[in-house]
Structure 1
Amino acid sequence: MRIGIVGLGKISGAYLTTLASLPGVRVTALADRDPLRAVAARDHAPGARAVPVDELLTSDEVDLVLNLTIPEAHAEVATAALRSGKHVYGEKPFAMDLGQARTVLAGADGLRVGCAPDTVLGTGTQTARKAVADGLIGTPTAANAAFTSPGHESWHPDPEFYYRPGGGPLLDMGPYYLTALVHLLGPVERVVAAAGRARDIRTIGSGPRAGTDFAVEVDTHVTGALVHAGGVVTTLTTSFDVVASTQPRIEIHGTEGTLSVPDPNRFDGEVLLRPRGAAEWKALPPSAGYTGAARGIGVLDLVTNHRAGVPHRASAEVAVHVLDVMETLLSAAHRRTGLAVSTTCEPPAPVPLDEVAVDGRPSPTA
């Protein structure tokens, strides 16, 4: 499948590296609002052309548009690509709000629409998912999930969009955690939440604009309780206001044990099990997931399953539900009440453990 990439910012490097080594896909076109970025990216996509955005979206040499733009542009670019008959795979969040998301999906008309994160397809989350499904912790009863950091302005040279509508710790990092929780425990039915921000002005800490102040327009600490369809209650915290923390990323608690799940922003990582009565944690060997995966494996999963005629895993259905959960959390926090989540989804098919091919590429299993 021929891929055109729109948006050649920081995350694009990871995608370009992965896509260059994957079978069944080829990057043919590159576009960015800064044309020089598109030209520079050609070094990582041999044979790809640097073109204006409008030309890429209508090109006969593009089958799928990989949408790596900033959140404010996600829905606009996706809608335009679908209108031109292209499949779409985008970065998270799926859109700025549920209304935009529904507009995007209304234009799909049989085309494939996928969305990050695809980190949940790696051996970390998938091994944990298999452990839960196999009953290693008994019946799941509760979970806790936490992303905490002092913010992205210390390392990102243009961090303002993280602190504007569509950003913040919940919409930026929440998709990793919530998508993993959907895979592990199923969709979310209702939430309660609280939110706030530590300060209204932040300062860029790196790059040519270091020392520049900018305004914070969104909540930078959001915490909530999520009730999953099966009755499991998850406590979730996302924050740009924490200097340091020793909290685990995700823990799943059951009637017969507890599971420590690795960072959902990574594809792999150690899954730890502490059965009831055990004195120590036990590391579980990888038992499910794409081995050696990296950003872009969701694109390959979409392409492979499109050819097989079955649902792909990094799906719009899951991404829209996750967006709805985040939007509902923020609304519940601001209204100081509990709210029902209006959407639901089926957890994607689990990923069986695959073998790494001799050339180091993941071998997809539909």
Structure 2
Amino acid sequence: MARANPAQIGIIMAIWLLPLSIYFLLNRSRNRSNLPIPSPTKITGLFIYPIKSCHSIPVRSAQLLPTGLDLDRQWMWVKYPERKFLTIREHAKMTLIRPTYDAETDTLTITAPTPILGFADSPAAPISFSIPAHPTAAWLAENTTVVAATIWTTTTPSHEYSSALTAPFNAFFGTDVRLVYKPPTSPSPRALTGNGKKELLGRAASTCFADVMPVLIGSEASLAELNARLQAQGESAIGATRFRPNVLVQGHEPWSEDRWKTVRIAPSRASQPTWTLLAQLQRTLRLDPAPTLDVVARCARCHVPNVDPETAEAHARQPWDTLMKYRRVDPGIRFKPCFGMLCVPRGSGGEVTVGMQVEVDAVTEKHRYVQGMG
């Protein structure tokens, strides 16, 4: 019996795979909520905030961990001796603390301006220190002390750095402070609460020092709509970093992300040499390793977006006042406006890069903010 040549094998596979792929593609489009699935949207920016409430680092790529993007909000300033967290809400100038990352040495350097004591109007003198970005357990045991640090209503074991290292920052804050660290893999994880609690999410999940959830996605389309409203009032347009997103996407029509339920991050079709039926089938059957995130809630906003992250100047009204007029859209938290979507990664994640696309797998009209997050 003659062997089938490669062309014949390809035809046979196509005959079998085509109906199967059509079936799964049709079922994917038939969302359980009967709402239309939007087309993929491009990632235009990635941001990490190594120290909670301090300045961002824009990156081209980052590892998505179960607790969020690598190096994102794994450190936090606390007031001493209470060891309660400090944020922009009370200390707007925290955004002037700038972390930088050196990949060659795997080092994080933290720099901030501080006035010369006794001369409030004098030029700022920089203060800084450097620490390992991915400290080993041995390094932490030798250089830090395990303490209980409090963020919102949760107290969690954390590694506190020597006061000798961070002492110059006492003058910056005007009070005695300490820096604490929470590794992404911890024997005492900070479990998610609210919309991310196990009973609602369906699995146990945790984060480091993010306010509520590991990842925040923001939309340029929604930001542009907000900026149009601000400019119509004679106000200046604002940048996306006011809202401290981790992932910024082009978006679809403004605020369509309000209905996202599940998203996947995958290479754009244009970036692949060939877009084959088999590749599409792999995606449909979830055989490819693309990171998946559950979109668990809208992000209810406080006054932090009023603070310019470059100058630490806080606007008395905007964008809070404008958002309050039309973005109190979540039935679970009517007294706050919403911008961006809070997400929880599934599994071990993977690498995320600017230019990749966010594919919306499922949508819902039942998002409701659950009190108690934090």
The structure with the largest strand share of the pair is: 2
Higher relative contact order (CA 8 A, sep 6+): 2
Please tell me the TM-score bracket, short chain as reference.
under 0.3
Name which one, 1 or 2, has greater alpha-carbon Rg: 2
Q: TM-score, normalised by structure 1?
A: 0.24
